[in-house]
Amino acid sequence: MRKKMIAGNWKMNNTPAEGAKLVQDIKAAADAATCDVVVCTPFVCLPSALEAAKGSHVQVAAQNMHYEDKGAFTGEISSVMLKDMGVTHVVLGHSERREYFAESDQTVNLKTKKALMENIVPIVCVGESLEQRETGIAFDWIRMQVKLALLGIAKEDVKRVVIAYEPIWAIGTGKTATDEQANEVCGVIRSALKELYDAETADEMRILYGGSMNAKNAQGLLAQSDIDGGLIGGASLKAEDFSTIIGFAG
Among all residues, which ones are annotated catalytic? 94, 166
| 143: number of Cβ within 10 Å | 18
CA angle, residues 185, 187, 193, in degrees to nearest 5: 110
Our CA dihedral for 232, 3, 183, 11, rounded to 10 degrees, sits at 20
CB 122 within 8 A of CB 82: no
- What is the number of residues in the chain? 250
Q: Per DSSP, which regions of the chain are E strands?
A: 5-9, 36-41, 58-62, 89-92, 121-126, 162-165, 206-209, 229-232
Strand partners, 210: none
Residue 182 Cα to chain centre, angstroms: 15
Our CA dihedral for 181, 186, 188, 192, rounded to 10 degrees, sits at 170
For residue 92, give the nearest of 74, 117, 67, 119 by alpha carbon.
Answer: 67
Specify the DSSP class assigned to residue 66.
Answer: B
